Amino acid sequence: MVKDPVCGMKVKSPSKYSAEAKGAKYDFCSEKCKNNFLSNPNKYIKPINSSEATYSINSKGIEKLDIPIIGIHCSSCIPTIESEIKKLPGIIFVKVNIATEKARIEFNRKKVTAESIIKAIKKAGYKTGQSDLSLGIVGMYCASCVTKIENELKNLPGVLSAGVDLAAEKAFIKYLPSLVNIKEIKNTIEKLGYKTIEPAGTEKLSSKKTLSEREKIEKEPVDENQLAREKEYKTLIRKFVFAAVLGVPFLIISYPDSLGLPEAFRQGAPTLRYLWIAMSILSLPIMFWSGSQFYTGAWAAFKNRSANMHTLISTGISAAWIYSATATFFPEIFPKAELANQFFDAIAIIVALVVLGMALEIRAKGKSSEAMKKLMGLQAKTARVIRNGQESDIPIEEVVLDDIILVRPGEKIPVDGVITEGSSLIDEAMITGEAIPVEKLKNDEVIGATINKTGSFKFKATKVGKDTALSQIIGMVEQAQSSKAPIQKIVDRVAGYFVPAVIIIAILSFVVWYDFGPQPNLIYALIVFVTVLIIACPCALGIATPVSLMVGVGKGAENGILIRNGNAMETAQKLNTVVLDKTGTITEGKPLLTNIITTKDFSEDEVLSLSAGVEKASEHPLGEAIIKGAADRSLTLYEPKEFNAIPGQGVEAVVGEKKILLGNIKLMKNHSVETGDLEEKSKKLADDGKTPMFIAIDGKAAGIVAVADVVKPDSKAAIAKLKKMGLEVVMITGDNKRTAKAIARQVNIDRVFAEVLPPEKAFNVQKMQNEGKIVAMVGDGLNDAPALAQADIGFAIGAGTDVAIEASDITLIKGNLKSVPLAIELSRATMKNIRQNLFGAFFYNGLGIPVAAGLLYPFFGILLSPIIAGAAMAFSSVTVVSNANRLRRFKPKLD
Amino acid sequence: MSADQIIVTLLGIALSFLAGWYFWFSERKAVKIKTTDSGGQEAFIKVKGGYSPNLLVFEAGKPIKLTFYREETASCSEKVIFSDFNKKATLTPFKNVTVELNIDKPGEYNFQCEMGMLRGKLIVE
């Protein structure tokens, strides 16, 4: 059996339909596929590509899998991956080939799945070319369809796992994109007689729609939840209008004396009785339509033996209605005429206000999650991929690893990758929060969803699908938003008791007013009962923490600060010590040319170009810094001849007919070069943490070139800011004391731990914690992982596209140290906001309920009307959400 | 104190006790979820003003699949949050939304809506 290259079906070879192209024979399932193939063979013939995965199964159930692995740079990586895979059961053979960047694995598919192998590779710290796909399926009616589709998909080469959810009508597929594409997967499902729907988010396109309509749909994925929210908002507004339109006349009729209405509306008049009857009937649709959610919500909760806001409101308005209706229809049962009063106005107005409050809350909450929506909207929809020399626009879901993608000025970069050709300025503000566009050259990393400003370039996709920085950011933000801040625990404890407690308070207040209150006692008791029920607002309490956390986490993401969870958010504000790793955190992490000192016979350019010429032959990282320094001055470099490295001293070579010596003082002395005052100058450079190198030209001392790992431009300001915020700043490094001190001096750090080996960094962090400090550690996520994990808050800095760094509590996408004070400020602002909300909610309920119960009445004669209580309740939770939304305007304070 | 006052007082106190007992101390009905043939535990939860059932009992160590069906558009129930697992799901009205969990440690795990008005509990034994 062979595969039809067009539709992917398995066909017998030789088949009835076959064709030859590029020296190979291909078999097809039908005439149609054959013709399609012949019209454009290049489209269907897969080039023999080293990054391609292959996959085969033999009769014994032994599976062979060739899987591309990304990021193998050295042969030392190989044992790590191999040993991680070998730990799995059922592995027969494993070999990682560094040249092809592939792992060949033979395994027993009964004992281990391809998926767990990929997990093992990931565990070793490497990525494979795996993609996730969720596909809607129409036409499944039974559980047997599920197994059928799953089995068929699993048999498809390149599909690692397939799960079909009958209820959701969806298939979730993990696959190797280099081996199988979405089209083949869809074909497989459709061949079984089911229809597939485009991956989530986009609506199914009907052919009847015009082109422009179709384009619109493609551009704006339909969010069903958003639609539901809109619908709910509109319904609530209609409910509000209905209740309010009836409520206002109710209100007027209820206060005949104070509004000076004619005699006919006064208490006891026959006209009024008819009005009351009308009101009692009209209140019913207000209660059961405008306020229907109170009753359904209350009943659902009641069945589950719990109570919530709906319980309170429905009980309150029901009690008011029963009393008022009794007064309307059976006034004679009341012992006194004045007791036969009605509260229909209160019912209508309370329902109107609470419903309005709910509607406003939907709007306000929509704003709270804006940051998230913005993130989701960033994703590009298509990518212009060059495959087999042909450009084509394909949906972003089909971009696979190692695809070469062309990006033109003004376009969005579709996925993460590395530039292979060209250069450009790229606006990364949406991901990193950095306002100034960044210049990117060949071999630089580009991040998906950022915008290419000026030049065209090609790049190689290194992360696609769920692995892109944007997808990871969205995932992290979502997770953080659904986590709980520890402060929420108090609220949770209170919330469990709150509503039933309010009900009990309301009942007891009724009793107290009935027994000891002024006349008419029944009316007062009822008013107090209803007011207590209505004013209590469990929602404000419940929403206080999560909504601020949501806005705060979203705000962080906008600025390139990813906060892992509520715990990290809460701890970050308590920090009092920040430990900074030196290399790569405070400094650039790579050496740069810093000084050129010359003796009087030579010019700076001459010294530099000759030194750089020598270094062209060496592979030393310091040499690269010198070459880059020369390139920055656009100097011409000559090829070195007779290059010779002298261990522990330096190098010698002939450059442009001149004999050059480049190295330390020992090298000069051994060649009897007179260095004069250069030695003194070199010591000074060394004291500044730089590495000086002497250069001698034709046996004569010519000067010194110095290279150093320089401090990042913003480090000093960021450290000053941290200090100003009251934090102790400490530097930790594996580097020698002299260099460490020199850097510390430059950035004004007083406490330095030098010559600390990476594993000891965590120990040093712990030592500071034992001093009673709450410590943040800032470092890269790789070498500093143990220290980041040990610290109360671990900041992983400069993550770039590698955002999901496990060891860190807060990931900073930008390499800039300024994000650290910004993150701490954001945490402080968020927690302050949460405290305000909690204080507001507790204070409101703590004050509102006793006042509603009439606690102030004996002293000041103050008693709340149920209508005021309704207004207060309706707006208390809107106030909480609005207060949280103030965080959206959070801006770092200028220094 | 007149007779009606005594009646109201006694009735009020009785009602308070009843409310306290019903909402806090009465035994809730827990639904025990059986393990399916494939070893998973699947439960269906209707969402309308609350979660029903809202107290589910599972066995530890076996995958749990909760399918939510939201029978309303009231915005309260739009999100369901499992904060012990940092998991959140948006419940599209009148659609099945599945949340998958793997809980190895026995204990009680709450889930709730965004505001904490609607609450449910998973008991893992």
Average pLDDT, chain A: 82
Distance of alpha carbon A610 from alpha carbon A697, whole angstroms:
9
In DSSP notation, B26-43 reads: SPPPPEEPPB-TTS-EEE
CB pairs under 8 A between A and B: 145
A542 touches chain B (CB under 8 A): yes
Contact A484 B83 (CB under 8 A): yes
| Surface-to-core class of residue B2, CB atoms within 10 Å of its CB (0-12 exposed, 13-18 middle, 19+ buried) | exposed
Please check whether residue A93 is in contact with residue A112, taking contact to mean a CB–CB distance below 8 angstroms.
no
Of A502, A493, A496, the residue nearest A846 (C-alpha): A502
A165 touches chain B (CB under 8 A): yes
For the stretch A23-41, pLDDT in tens is 667 777 777 777 777 777 6
Residue A529 is predicted with a pLDDT of 93
Contact A229 B75 (CB under 8 A): yes
- Optimal mutation site among B36, B75, B112, interface A, most CBs of chain A within 10 A: B75
Q: Which residues of B touch A510 (CB under 8 A)?
A: 8, 12
From the list A228, A484, A503, the residue facing B92 with the nearest CB is A228
End-to-end CA distance of chain A: 71
Q: Which of residues 279-308 of A touch B (CB under 8 A)?
A: 293, 296-301, 303-308
Q: Is A863 helix (H, G, I), strand (E, B) or coil?
A: coil
Question: With pLDDT > 90 as the criterion, what percentage of chain B qualifies?
Answer: 10
CA distances to A245, A410, A420 from A444, rounded to whole Å, are 64, 19, 8
In DSSP notation, A444-501 reads: -EE-TT-EE-S--EEEEEEE-GGGSHHHHHHHHHHHHHTS--TTHHHHHHHHHHHHHH
Active site residue A581: yes
Distance of alpha carbon A37 from alpha carbon A404, whole angstroms:
24
Q: Which helix (H) or strand (E) holds A662?
A: strand A658-663
| Surface-to-core class of residue B74, CB atoms within 10 Å of its CB (0-12 exposed, 13-18 middle, 19+ buried) | buried
For the stretch A123-164, pLDDT in tens is 777 766 666 677 777 777 666 677 778 888 877 777 877 877
* Catalytic residue from among A581, A688, A709, A735: A581
Residue A501 is predicted with a pLDDT of 92
From the list B73, B81, B92, the residue facing A232 with the nearest CB is B73
Nearest chain A residue to B83 by CA: give it: A483
From the list B20, B52, B86, the residue facing A483 with the nearest CB is B86
Q: Which of residues 343-372 of A touch B (CB under 8 A)?
A: 358, 361-362, 365
DSSP 8-state symbol, A638: P
Residue A52 is predicted with a pLDDT of 41
Residue A339 is predicted with a pLDDT of 77
Residue A23 is predicted with a pLDDT of 61
Distance of alpha carbon A34 from alpha carbon A39, whole angstroms:
9
For the stretch B55-66, pLDDT in tens is 899 888 888 889
Which residues have CB under 8 Å from A142's CB, separation 6+? A166
Q: Is the ipTM reported for this complex over the cut 0.90? A: no
Please check whether residue A6 is in contact with residue A37, taking contact to mean a CB–CB distance below 8 angstroms.
yes
Contact B54 A510 (CB under 8 A): no
Q: Which residues of B touch A539 (CB under 8 A)?
A: 115, 117
| Nearest-CA distance A785 → chain B (Å) | 22
Cis omega (within 30 of 0) for bond into A520: yes
Contact B67 A308 (CB under 8 A): no
From the list A232, A309, A508, the residue facing B117 with the nearest CB is A309
DSSP lists the bridge partners of residue A263 as none
Please check whether residue A694 is in contact with residue A662, taking contact to mean a CB–CB distance below 8 angstroms.
yes
**What residues in chain A have per-residue pLDDT under 50?**
46-56, 59, 199-222
- Optimal mutation site among A150, A234, A302, A304, interface B, most CBs of chain B within 10 A: A304
Question: With pLDDT > 70 as the criterion, what percentage of chain A qualifies?
Answer: 87
In DSSP notation, A231-253 reads: HHHHHHHHHHHHHHHHHHHHHHH
Identify how many contiguous H helices and E strands chain B contains and give both numbers: 1, 10
| Nearest-CA distance B44 → chain A (Å) | 11
Distance of alpha carbon A50 from alpha carbon B16, whole angstroms:
76
Residue A347 is predicted with a pLDDT of 92
Contact A228 B78 (CB under 8 A): yes
Distance of alpha carbon A752 from alpha carbon A746, whole angstroms:
13
A491 touches chain B (CB under 8 A): yes
Q: Which residues of B touch A484 (CB under 8 A)?
A: 83
Q: Which residues of B touch A297 (CB under 8 A)?
A: 49-50, 74, 76
Residue A142 is predicted with a pLDDT of 65
Distance of alpha carbon A447 from alpha carbon A156, whole angstroms:
32
Q: Which of residues 305-324 of A touch B (CB under 8 A)?
A: 305-310
For the stretch A629-675, pLDDT in tens is 888 888 888 888 888 888 888 888 888 888 888 888 888 888 888 88
Q: Which residues of A touch B75 (CB under 8 A)?
A: 229, 232, 358, 361-362, 365
Contact A228 B93 (CB under 8 A): yes
Contact A296 B48 (CB under 8 A): yes
For the stretch B57-94, pLDDT in tens is 988 888 888 999 988 877 778 888 888 887 888 888 88
Q: Which residues of B touch A495 (CB under 8 A)?
A: 116
| Surface-to-core class of residue B80, CB atoms within 10 Å of its CB (0-12 exposed, 13-18 middle, 19+ buried) | buried
Residue A51 is predicted with a pLDDT of 39
Backbone conformation region of residue A23, classed left if phi is above 0, alpha if psi is from -120 to 50, else beta: left
Residue A60 is predicted with a pLDDT of 54
What are the b/e assignments for A401-414, b being 16+ CB within 10 Å? bbbbbbbeeebbbb
A229 touches chain B (CB under 8 A): yes
